[in-house]
A and B are shown apart, each in its own frame.
Chain A
Amino acid sequence: MYVAVKGGERAIANAHAWLAEERRGDPAEPLLSVAQIREQMALAVNRVMAEGSLYDPDLAALAIRQARGDLIEAVFLIRAYRTTLPRLGSSVPVDTGAMAVDRRVSATFKDLPGGQVLGPTFDYTHRLLDFAEAAAMDPAPLGTPGPARVPHVTAILDRDGLIEPVAPDDTPAPDLTREPLELPASRALRLQALARGDEGFLLSLAYSTQRGYGRTHAFVGELRIGRVPVEMEIPELGFAIQIGEIELSECETVNQFKGSRTEPAQFTRGYGLVLGQSERKAIAVSLVDRALRWQELGEDDSGAPAQDAEFVLSHCDNIQATGFLEHIKLPHYVDFQAELELVRRLRQEANEAAS
């Protein structure tokens, strides 16, 4: 039962005033600009865009500052903001084969068209804190760019029939932001939910599959990060134009598959595509995507969490999770009074029965 209670306005107003002061920190220190956060905290900005499910680096940077660096709170601000925007339309599906790649690596083939491009990676750094002033730095060296279009690695396996084919399919995409999640969920719907899911949750689930809870023997066939143009049909023009450019991380895994009565042994695929430079998440999504495909591929349900679509999809959204989790700190005075009465009565009855 809900009972309206009034009061606390002054306390709330004062708490928010103090929050503003604490957010600002020592006024002797200069205020962080949105551009500084966007440029120098780019991976935090990427994470807020991915989980907020809205590509707008300036908005994400503003949200991070307002949330005092609490990224889930920042994601919450972005999710709330996006509900105020009208939907102008849907893009033409982006062509990741046309991506201008900053980074593109394969763990399955050493030599491949386009090569292994490391990009601005933390890999092979020594993870030693650098106390030196990073202000003066040398410009990044320039090489000779290769062909603009870098082929997908799995196309090499596809050519020889060694990996499951991807059939052309133009089934309209289901949209979580318009229709509530329904189970069983198609792979397209699952990939949307995972793309906006919490990175930490997906990382742990993916790790659990590696440790044996729904093992899928994944190799990173390819990981690529870069920018793709986004096109949309404009009705008043009668043709499609680019409406912008976004950064994406894409991971495709190559997984073991023994084959069945109807199909020869071949590799299978896991896929992850997320906003921004977010390779840990892209890899995690592709592992979880593959684990969720057990039924379609005729594999056993080992009861692992990562194989349970209802469990994964219902719990991967950190805004839903934090909303329900944190609401229990809000006043539950009446609910608790009822429980308190009940416990007192039970104890009284037990006492009376004993005496």
Chain B
Amino acid sequence: MDPRRKMPAKAPPPNERRDWLSLMARSAPDRLARVLPDLPDHDLLRAPETGNVMVQGRVSATGAPFNIAEMTVTRCSVVLSCGTVGHGHVQGRSRSHARRAAVIDALMQTGAAATLTPQLRAMEAEAQAATTERAAKAAATRVEFFTLQRGEDT
């Protein structure tokens, strides 16, 4: 085994790691690049690879699973010089984006998390604001029914 691949001193809680990985997966490449413009030294454990993922739904929303269609996903795994391993999965076909996500995933398990976390939080807040704005536009198109007064009632 590669001696550099030792476990980090303290593993982050899986739910936090899931959150930052999910956030990066949905992010735009140029937005994530603003979080970490220059990548620190790292080696590729798995070179960036674009593939497809079969997306499943369920019959009548809650029944048996069925295949809807595929989507493009790019993944990459890296190891930092300190031995921390990172995995990146991003929607779409950008290899540099997947590589950056993997490096950030590794860095978030190290002391660098202190500086990266506020930046990822800011990115998450932007994504949340965009979702909220869309929901607000939808809400403005909600129908308010009113009953017309009928002639015989007057």
Residues on A facing B (Cβ under 8 Å): 49-50, 53-56, 58-59, 82, 85-94, 96-97, 100-103, 110-111, 115-121, 140-146, 148, 152, 154, 166-177, 186-189, 191-192, 195-196, 226, 229-232, 234, 236-246, 248, 250, 252, 269, 271, 273-275
Contacts and interface: CB of A to CB of B under 8 A. Distances in A.
Given A54-B71, A119-B141, A239-B14, A93 B52 contact: no
B132 A145 contact: yes
Interface string B114-148: 00000000000000000111111111111101000
Contacts of A154: 60-61
Nearest to B145: A110
Interface of B: 14, 17-18, 21-22, 25-26, 49-73, 75, 77, 87, 89-93, 131-143, 145
Contacts of A196: 69
Contacts of A274: 68
A273 B58 CA distance: 9
Given A93-B58, A188-B65, A269-B60, A88 B143 contact: no
A237 to B, nearest CB: 6
A240 B18 contact: yes
B142 A143 contact: yes
Nearest to A192: B67
Contact of A152 (B61, B140, B142): B61
Given A82-B52, A154-B60, A58 B65 contact: no
B56 to A, nearest CB: 4
A94 B66 contact: no
Nearest to A289: B59
Given A166-B60, A244-B73, 19 more contacts: A88-B49, A90-B53, A100-B135, A101-B138, A119-B138, A142-B133, A145-B132, A145-B135, A146-B142, A152-B61, A170-B65, A171-B64, A171-B65, A177-B70, A191-B59, A195-B68, A237-B17, A240-B18, A252-B61
Contact of A230 (B55, B66, B90): B55
Nearest to B46: A236
Nearest to A146: B139
A269 B62 CA distance: 12
Indicate the member of B72, B136, B143 with the most A CB atoms within 10 Å.
B72
B69 A97 contact: no
Nearest to A121: B141
B141 A88 contact: no
B139 A93 contact: no
Given A116-B142, A241-B89, A56 B14 contact: no
Given A55-B70, A100-B134, A245-B26, A88 B52 contact: yes
A49 to B, nearest CB: 7
A230 B71 contact: yes
Contacts of B142: 115-118, 143, 146
A103 B92 CA distance: 25
A96 B54 contact: no
A242 to B, nearest CB: 4
Nearest to B14: A239
29 contacts: A54-B72, A56-B92, A58-B92, A58-B93, A85-B70, A88-B51, A91-B54, A93-B65, A94-B57, A96-B61, A100-B135, A117-B141, A142-B133, A142-B139, A152-B61, A154-B60, A170-B64, A188-B67, A192-B66, A195-B69, A196-B69, A231-B22, A232-B53, A237-B14, A237-B18, A238-B14, A241-B89, A243-B25, A245-B26
B91 A245 contact: yes
